[in-house]
Structure 1
Amino acid sequence: MKDLVHSPASTQLSVIVPFRADPSSPYLVERLEGLCKCFKNTREVEFIVIDSGSPTELRKNISSICEENGVRYIHHDTAGQVFSIGAARDYGVTHATGRAVTFLDVDLRFSDDFFDRLVRFMSSYGISRQKKKFFTVPCLYLTQEGTDEFLASCEDQRMLDFYLRWLDGDNHAIQNMAPCSSVMVVDRLHYLSVGGHRPEFRGHGYEDFELYHRLMVEEGALPRARDYYHDTKTWDTATYRGFRSQLSLLGRHAMMANIFVIHLWHPRPRSNSFYANLAANREIWLEFFRKFDSNRQHPSPLVSTGARFGKFIMFGKPRTAPADCLKDVLPILGEVLFVNEQDFVDDEMRLLDADLAALIEQHGVQAMLFPNPYANPARLEVYDWCRRTGFPYLCWERGALPDSWFFDNRGFNFDSASYAEQNWQRDLTSDERSAVIRYINEVLTGANTLERQGLRISGEGLAAKLRVGGRKVLFVPLQRPSDTVIRHFAGGVGSQEAFLEFIDEAAEKLNRRGWVVLCKKHPLESEVPTLQHAQLVPDDTHFIDLLELADAVAVINSGVGVYAAMMGKPCYVFGNAFYAFQGINQCASAVDPAAFCSQVTSSYTVDMERVYQFIHYLRNDFYSFGRPSTKIRQEKDGSLRNITTGIDFYEIRIPGMHPVIYQRPEERRISTGSPLFERFRLDLEQEGNREKIAVRETAVTRRKDKWAAKLRKLFRDPHAFFGDSRVQFLRPLRFAFPRR
């Protein structure tokens, strides 16, 4: 397996130093050498210098400095371009191997035990356990005099000395403290998935702010500061106003843990293009802040150098829902080449395999990614070609369990060898068995379902509501006639229409044997089927209540069959289903109502041990998991379609790679009442008082407006005024005035 991000062999942290030597600033190489000498290599931390566009004559010296100090040297070919510190950092992240990444500029210094404490702090903070958590390390900026004094001292406690002097207000040696610096600590895969820094920011300035803005929105932990788009241009503020006040909170945790770095003074010549772009960057930050708040579009994901494939084909277009859904996965899959499958078939839907082979060779394509290979005839032709020729591919689609998705290199749904019994049939350990039982209980009692459902009322409550009257129940979940699994894997039953006709005939016979057949329409279907003997339940009936009530279940190949197995309900499968196995369910012997009635009434016992083995395999070995963002779209025929617009993956399993596992995401909101907001406490209280006063003033104004309106009505039409009065004894006064 590839040893990638989050693999057992990964280091905890990659420290990336973006660098470019400049002959006009010889101190830069000296600063780099001084920084590299501070690094102490451990198994938990790796150090990388990204040499981005240094002159050829200086490159060898830089490489030697790195080699002498055990630092990885990586050349980034950007000669002739403006030095972009953001681009250099991004390049470093694509080459890093740590679970998390951070950045150090050559002018930064730290205490001897800095990285030991930082790694411990990362662990306590939850970096790389919770995907979206991140923080920054505060930076104490020294003056020129303070820098000279700092470099002249060799005492280990000099970091603490300068920190205390800052607290005492020493303006001679210390310029300022920036609670939010460029030294961020963030999960590496998450950084890659959000695309790192925007390439529009060149040189120095605001590139970090824009990235922090997107990361904060993704995490959603901090309440937004008022007048957020205002730039105070200072960190020294006691008001929670403007984006800098919110950014300052990113470093507050580390500051309270006494984790910080020191920035050495250096000249900033305007002639250097690195600094010359500051004004241009300052002009565009607001546009990108607002744009991201509006569309939530990150730059394209960055790709790890250790990705599964160098380049792969994906059928579709960039910036579409399928592409956006794979934001978290693309960094470890590889560089994507978007292709329209229709370009590789002729008018009669025959594959132009020579053209396809030429494209693969020309672009060095190593694999194909199919979002549902049966989606259209052209895509199916390419999929069949891959299977015939053995060309590597992955099929990607939603799984049968909540939040589940699969990346399958052995087929799609029923046609895949990944579900074969030899992959999952084994004795579980006692811990594995207990864990899968807990998981099944969580699924069956939780609110997370594949499609929207009504409120749970229990099987017993549903029996009373539907007036089952003690009869046995056969539950039949209906599917969508247009679904891939119906069009291609319906088996002997042929179609949804034929299945419904069969079920209705069987219902007539089962009714005479004390059974009732309950059918539930698919939540997204608009067409109501006509049934004479089976009963259609209300649309808002929860399918788990129906399963709880049911004595047996009949499906073509609906995913409800997996839930039936987890609940130990006998399930009869009429189509080709990936979960159809002896002991877990039964394949219907024939599409014959009389034979089926005999099969249902004789029943069987579900082998729960086999169910546990199968669900354990799906949950822990095969499925990936991610929370989808969806929207409902109405089609031309009136039916509804559930469009997945994004997926927040928290477990990723790609064949041939180590799994990426995070904790399941939970909403994290930091209250303004927490100690984190202590600096802004007075401002927040005053703002709260201002809001209360504004509410009271609004109420008073409304009361005044109300009485003013009544007074105007009195003078305009006294007859109506007294006649409409709520005070009964005033109403007769209306007769003293003429009606208008």
Structure 2
Amino acid sequence: MHNEFNTVIGTTLDSQYNSILDIVTAKPEETFTVSDITVCVAIRLTEINPWVLPRLEFLLTHYSPTPCFLIVDFGSQGEFKDSIENLCKINNAQYLYIDDTNIFSLSTARNIGASYIKTKFIFFTDVDCVFESNFFKKISSLTNSLSLSIATRRCIFLPVYHLTEKATNCFFDFSQRQKKDEYLERISFESISEGYGNNFMFIAPYSNVYLITKEFFELSGGYCNIFRGHGSEDFEYLIRLGIFSSNIPLPASLNKDWYGPLKESFWQSQLDYSGFRKYVEALTIPSELQGLKTFHLFHESPSKEGYWTAHNDWKRQNFNKIIDNYYPNMENIILQDYIERPKKALCIFSDKKQWGYFVPLRLYGYKLDILCSNSDNDIHNILNKIEQNYYDRIFIFNPYMKSHAKFRGIIELSRRLGVRTTVIERGGLPNSLYYADEVVYGDHDYHNIDNILSTYIPKTLAKSKALINRICSGCEFLENQESYEVTHSKLVLLRNSKCPTIFIPLQLEDDMAVTKFTDGYPSYNEFIEQIRESIFANPDIIFAIKRHPLSKNNISNLMAENVVLVDDNTNIHALMDSCKFTIVYNSGVGMLSCIQQKPTFNIGNTYYSASTTLSNRVSSVEEAIIKIKSKQYHCTTIEDAIIFTDWLINEKYSWFSANDIIRDFSDRKSHGYDNIMVELINLDGTIINTGSIRNSYPPSPRSYLNHRITIFPVKNEKVVGKKPLPKVSEKVVAKEPLPKVSEKVVAKEPLKKSRLFNKLKKDPYRFCADSKYILIRMARILFTKKS
């Protein structure tokens, strides 16, 4: 193992990954085939729709290669039921009967059907939809290209081309698969520009036909089962799938039914990104550009005789009732869950944008309830439920936040009554978070880190090495920072100093990290005072001090001749590389310093301190300096860095993507997130990929998608014509005349440089002391001050 650790870390892997999320969500390569897809079709056969049976037979026999089929019979009776069951048996299709003779419910049929499917993928379609005969080979290949084994929340949505009766008859007139395929290809190409009525009744740039992973269907909560008859269940569910999986921005008036394909407004809608139809169209365009589509075959729909379209939600009454539950109050989307689950969990959070942390808990069998209000009435209702053992588990985002003070009674009661309570909090690495019994500073596992490092056997060495390489490159960080290269170029003098150089990152004074779990440790205020004393007691040491990027505290009182107060946006990885040591209270920067194999010292309670590796535990800044001067300290080895990182990846951390939100308050800033998606969750020892890696491809106004459908509307846009080029005879007048060579403007810069160079040779101490640049001023301690 020692030799394996000594290889150059990550070199064979880093080129495969564009981000930390690419690394941590990576899995052994899976190759999917058509056999990994189950086509789920819900039907009911009666005397008024006899066309269903021959269409079903065509569905089960037309495609090559053939996927798995699940036919959900929703309440067919007598000989109709028997004929469907026999047809499924002949063609080796799974048959599932639902004894429900009420109005047909596609929602209920698909929800129940999905629960019986065992394959990785579910392909929902209708018995009256057809595809090219090799369609499932094409779409199974796309699942591999899109890495759906990792990005399990990705869906492949299809547009639907509604064939006329004439075109449908022509399709069936061809007896060979190849001829049928060629016919669909030809009319798709030739008829796209002609008016509706000849080959196409209409084309809808979206449909209820799509491929979804089994995991995502379960995570999404399935179809709303209040819908019966025709209409709305598809749009409501597709909206939720988009919110859960995509970073395409939501349109204005998401709950409005505008621009239907049979409305006159459909042809004037290109620049108006409004209503739910435009949203699901935006979700579908990528698949259509891959050449994927479904063709709806013509059939009679005798609604007057009781066909299911006679009962519909075309006025969107049920649709509005459901979508109003979570739009625009998006946190309530957690409550839209129509799949049976064995356990109940309460999710507590005050920032209503944090709902994304909780959705994956459904995959662990929890039906979720939420509390994000601090009203006394809501809290009392929850307390009564806990007392009655209503919940199996409580999940709360950082219970020690000020905004969660009113929830602490809930946590105390649940723990007293033995209801398991799980804390969710951000981890110490970019994009990391954890689900644990206590926040990291109170987690006993970290206090036993010596034993863990000595006994733990790495599970994903290559992944851990690649992650360390990625972190040390300085291209990803917890807070916004300038690039590694920019900071590195600024720190030449610091990097080449002959004096010991110590990096000290400061923290937020009111943060849980420095106000809780501090018994037996110096307080954070004492730590600040120790820094001040050590600065003046050790003029032979250079201290590079960086305040927390969210802080507004004035730290100029720490300024001295041997102090560099670095900018808030300084890249900490370049800064650590430019300093010889790191001293922290208990900042997460200390863990990064250990992973970067920099000698690190902590004064407060940390989760990365051990007796012989990682951070050196000391009682004061001065003790750390004494150990530095006497060389009585340990440094994290690459072996221990890899073991610790591997343990975090496999035993502790989950991973998420989000959009940063920086809120500005009078005394400090706050770092929040929007559009949170847990890409991989690690709960109770079970790790599940739950994301879509969507942030690797953020939507842009300069994208082709925005050209096709204006997802980034520009208000009051003025069309500015190009200025004509001047004619040959016209005189081109420069705005400012160029100076003549003889003018003094040319000579100013060389004269200035000459004066500075002479000053540097004459008195280097004064040259540095008078500089406007902090790092050059800091270099004055390298020279003798002239008396």
* TM-score, with length taken from structure 2: 0.68
Q: 1:522-537 to 2 correspondence within 5 Å?
A: 522-529=548-555, 530-531=557-558, 535=563, 536-537=565-566
Query: How far apart, in 2, do the equivalents of 1:653 and 1:404 lie?
Result: 11
Query: How far apart, in 2, do the equivalents of 1:353 and 1:631 lie?
Result: 30
Question: Does the 8 Å CA contact 1:504/1:532 hold for their aligned counterparts?
Answer: no
1:455-488 Cα distance to aligned partner (Å, 9 max, x none): 5443562364x89964322222222232222222
Which of these residues, 518, 523, 548, is aligned with residue 495 of structure 1?
A: 523
Question: Does the 8 Å CA contact 1:135/1:251 hold for their aligned counterparts?
Answer: no
Which of these residues, 338, 344, 347, is aligned with residue 314 of structure 1?
A: 347
Query: How far apart, in 1, do the equivalents of 2:433 and 2:240 lie?
Result: 26
Give the secondary-structure state (helix, strand or coil) at the position aligned to 2:316: helix
Structure 1 segments unaligned to the other structure (5+ residues): 1-5, 685-690, 701-725, 727-740
Q: What residue identity is the alignment partner of 1:312?
A: A
Which of these residues, 15, 23, 26, is aligned with residue 39 of structure 2?
A: 15
Q: Offset at 1:399?
A: 0.6
1:338-372 Cα distance to aligned partner (Å, 9 max, x none): 35899999x9xxx9999666432xx3x33221322
Q: 1:520-669 to 2 correspondence within 5 Å?
A: 520-529=546-555, 530-531=557-558, 535=563, 536-591=565-620, 595-603=623-631, 604=633, 605-635=635-665, 638-660=667-689, 664=693, 665-667=695-697
Question: Does the 8 Å CA contact 1:189/1:328 hold for their aligned counterparts?
Answer: no
1:413 matched to 2:447? The reply is no
Query: How far apart, in 1, do the equivalents of 2:615 and 2:579 lie?
Result: 16
Which of these residues, 421, 433, 442, is aligned with residue 470 of structure 2?
A: 442
Q: What residue identity is the alignment partner of 1:573?
A: N
1:27 matched to 2:50? The reply is yes
State the match for 2:778 in structure 1.
none
Question: Does the 8 Å CA contact 1:386/1:392 hold for their aligned counterparts?
Answer: yes
Q: 1:56-71 to 2 correspondence within 5 Å?
A: 71=93
Query: How far apart, in 2, do the equivalents of 1:97 and 1:656 lie?
Result: 23
Which of these residues, 410, 419, 422, is aligned with residue 394 of structure 1?
A: 422
Q: What residue identity is the alignment partner of 1:583?
A: T
State the match for 1:735 in structure 2.
none
Question: Does the 8 Å CA contact 1:372/1:395 hold for their aligned counterparts?
Answer: yes
Query: How far apart, in 1, do the equivalents of 2:332 and 2:297 lie?
Result: 30
Report how many aligned residue pairs link the two structures: 663
Q: What residue identity is the alignment partner of 2:663?
A: R
Q: What residue identity is the alignment partner of 1:102?
A: F
State the match for 2:316 in structure 1.
281
Q: What residue identity is the alignment partner of 2:128?
A: D
Q: 1:407-486 to 2 correspondence within 5 Å?
A: 407-408=435-436, 410-419=437-446, 420-421=448-449, 425=454, 433=461, 435-454=463-482, 456=484, 457-458=486-487, 461-462=490-491, 464=493, 470-486=498-514
Q: Offset at 1:610?
A: 0.6
State the match for 2:752 in structure 1.
none
**Mean CA deviation greater in 106-115 or 555-564:** 106-115
Give the secondary-structure state (helix, strand or coil) at the position aligned to 1:485: helix
State the match for 1:695 in structure 2.
720
Which of these residues, 180, 199, 208, is aligned with residue 182 of structure 1?
A: 208
Q: 1:242-321 to 2 correspondence within 5 Å?
A: 247=281, 250=284, 260-261=294-295, 263-269=297-303, 272=307, 274-277=309-312, 279-281=314-316, 299-300=333-334, 310-316=343-349, 320-321=352-353
Give the secondary-structure state (helix, strand or coil) at the position aligned to 1:562: helix
State the match for 2:733 in structure 1.
none
Query: How far apart, in 1, do the equivalents of 2:646 and 2:515 lie?
Result: 29
Cα distance 1:524–1:74, how it changes in 2: closer, same or farther (>3 A)? farther
Q: Offset at 1:28?
A: 7.2
Aligned alpha-carbon RMSD (Å) = 5.4
Question: Does the 8 Å CA contact 2:71/2:96 hold for their aligned counterparts?
Answer: yes
Question: Does the 8 Å CA contact 1:179/1:252 hold for their aligned counterparts?
Answer: no
Query: How far apart, in 2, do the equivalents of 1:343 and 1:12 lie?
Result: 49
Query: How far apart, in 2, do the equivalents of 1:222 and 1:335 lie?
Result: 28
Structure 2 segments unaligned to the other structure (5+ residues): 1-26, 711-716, 725-735, 737-787
**Mean CA deviation greater in 487-496 or 132-141:** 132-141
Q: What residue identity is the alignment partner of 2:443?
A: S
Cα distance 1:581–1:78, how it changes in 2: closer, same or farther (>3 A)? farther
Question: Does the 8 Å CA contact 1:52/1:76 hold for their aligned counterparts?
Answer: yes
1:507 matched to 2:535? The reply is yes
Cα distance 1:695–1:161, how it changes in 2: closer, same or farther (>3 A)? closer
Question: Does the 8 Å CA contact 2:225/2:338 hold for their aligned counterparts?
Answer: no
Give the secondary-structure state (helix, strand or coil) at the position aligned to 1:659: strand
Q: What residue identity is the alignment partner of 1:13?
A: I
Query: How far apart, in 2, do the equivalents of 1:425 and 1:366 lie?
Result: 36
Identity of aligned residues (%): 20
1:179-203 Cα distance to aligned partner (Å, 9 max, x none): 6443222445455656666779764
Cα distance 1:272–1:671, how it changes in 2: closer, same or farther (>3 A)? same
State the match for 2:388 in structure 1.
359
Q: What residue identity is the alignment partner of 1:119?
A: S
Cα distance 1:404–1:256, how it changes in 2: closer, same or farther (>3 A)? closer
Query: How far apart, in 1, do the equivalents of 2:567 and 2:185 lie?
Result: 70
